[in-house]
């Protein structure tokens, strides 16, 4: 009798043991935070807003890093190899991304290229016609990577993050979707603030003593930008271009020269002195500053401060 029932008893025990193992595996997958790496600060905030308490989101680039020129260290490859999701803008902003992704030994890493499928601004869309020529590099086929400065694009990026995180953890999909909708409503409110705040302005052109980071804001809210550095942070204006932009500022009565935070304001100050204009700061928000209280810094707050700077600089009512 014992021999006869042993196979049945043995199979029952195996099923129980395997069942326990499967349950533990499922439970571990559901309770272990999703590890997410992002290249720039806005993407970190978007990912964190979606995943909430169910994930750990970390920036790949250190505070103050120059995004275009940054190069990964072996420790960065290790961090990325242990991640489950990596979110970046695209080759226009992170030219090093393809190389680092080829070097990562993680076949299960899910990669979100945020700019894929979006309509990127090229030279021909940089702004309205005017009497100032952009630096020569603008005349080539260079696309503007600063897509996070279009808050409607941000909502599309967030939806992609929801989709990928739901592949990693399908059980949490309703949570991710709810979190995303909450943050998207904040972006809608920000968009409305910009639309109303920049609707009636004496000036409709921003002059940047830096590179052309604000094309998407300009396109969405119907103003134009003139940038002395173009899209590339390595480009520099010629003396002829400097003379042209000074003449343009005087002819149009432009009263404010903007410059980027974490970038030298020297050129903006020179032009302001020459034209009698004042200077104001704008922050593209891509990277964290080296010296600032980061605990209270958010992308939304950065954009609110930019709006106040624009309203004052463009003399909006």
Per-residue pLDDT band at 139 (split at 50, 70, 90):
very low
Query: Please, what is the Cα angle at 217 between 59 and 294, to 5 degrees?
Result: 30
CA atoms of 255 and 250, how far apart (whole Å): 9
Overall average pLDDT of the 189-211 stretch:
95
Count Cα atoms within 13 angstroms, Cβ side, for 229.
Answer: 21
Domain residue spans of the chain: 33-129+144-190, 199-313
Average pLDDT, the chain: 84
The pLDDT tens digits for 217-257 are: 999 999 999 988 877 666 778 888 889 999 999 999 999 99
Per-residue pLDDT band at 261 (split at 50, 70, 90):
confident
pTM greater than 0.75: yes
Among candidates 312, 195, 216, 215, which has minimal Cα distance to 256?
312
| φ, ψ at 8 (rounded to 5°) | -65, -45
Alpha-carbon dihedral 288, 294, 300, 302, rounded to 10 degrees = -60
Overall average pLDDT of the 103-128 stretch:
82
| pLDDT over 50 (residue 14) | no
Overall average pLDDT of the 122-149 stretch:
60
| pLDDT over 90 (residue 142) | no
Check if the beta carbon of residue 172 is closer than 8 Å to that of residue 42.
Answer: no
Among candidates 260, 12, 215, which has minimal Cα distance to 121?
215
Overall average pLDDT of the 58-83 stretch:
90
Q: Options 1.20.190.20, 1.10.1040.10, 3.40.720.10, 3.40.50.1980; which CATH number does 33-129+144-190 get?
A: 3.40.50.1980
Structure tokens at 146: 């600063």
| pLDDT over 80 (residue 55) | yes
Architecture category of domain 199-313 in CATH = 3-Layer(aba) Sandwich (3.40)
Fold: same for 33-129+144-190 and 199-313: yes
Percent share of the chain, pLDDT over 90: 65
The pLDDT tens digits for 20-31 are: 333 333 443 567
Structure confidence at residue 66 (pLDDT): 85
The pLDDT tens digits for 174-187 are: 999 999 999 999 99
């Amino acid at each position: 009798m014992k021999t006869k029932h042993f196979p049945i008893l043995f199979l029952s025990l195996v099923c129980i043991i395997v069942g326990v193992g499967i349950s533990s595996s499922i439970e571990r997958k559901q309770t272990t935070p999703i590890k997410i790496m992002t290249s720039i600060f806005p993407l970190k905030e978007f990912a964190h807003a979606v995943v909430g308490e169910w994930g750990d989101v970390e920036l790949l680039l250190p505070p103050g890093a120059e995004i275009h020129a940054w190069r990964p260290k072996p420790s960065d490859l290790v961090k990325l190899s242990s991640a489950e999701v990596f979110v970046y803008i695209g080759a226009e902003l992170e030219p090093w991304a393809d190389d680092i992704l080829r070097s990562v030994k993680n076949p299960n890493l899910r990669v979100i290229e945020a700019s894929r499928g979006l309509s990127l601004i090229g030279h021909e869309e940089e702004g309205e016609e005017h009497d100032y020529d952009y630096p020569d590099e603008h005349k080539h086929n260079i696309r503007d990577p600063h897509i996070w400065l279009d808050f409607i694009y941000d909502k599309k990026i967030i939806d992609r993050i929801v989709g990928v995180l739901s592949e990693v953890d399908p059980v949490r999909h309703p949570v991710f979707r709810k979190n995303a909708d909450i943050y998207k409503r904040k972006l809608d409110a920000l968009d409305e603030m910009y639309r109303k705040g920049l609707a009636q302005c004496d000036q409709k052109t921003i002059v940047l003593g830096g590179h052309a980071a604000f094309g998407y804001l300009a396109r969405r809210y119907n103003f134009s930008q003139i940038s002395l550095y173009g899209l590339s942070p390595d480009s520099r204006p010629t003396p002829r271009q400097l003379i042209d932009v000074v003449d343009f500022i005087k002819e149009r009565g432009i009263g404010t020269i903007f410059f980027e935070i974490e970038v030298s304001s020297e050129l903006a100050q020179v032009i302001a002195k020459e034209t009698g204009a004042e200077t104001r700061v704008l922050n593209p928000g891509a990277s964290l500053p080296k010296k600032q209280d980061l605990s209270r810094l958010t992308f939304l707050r950065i954009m609110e401060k930019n709006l106040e700077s624009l309203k004052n600089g463009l003399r909006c009512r």
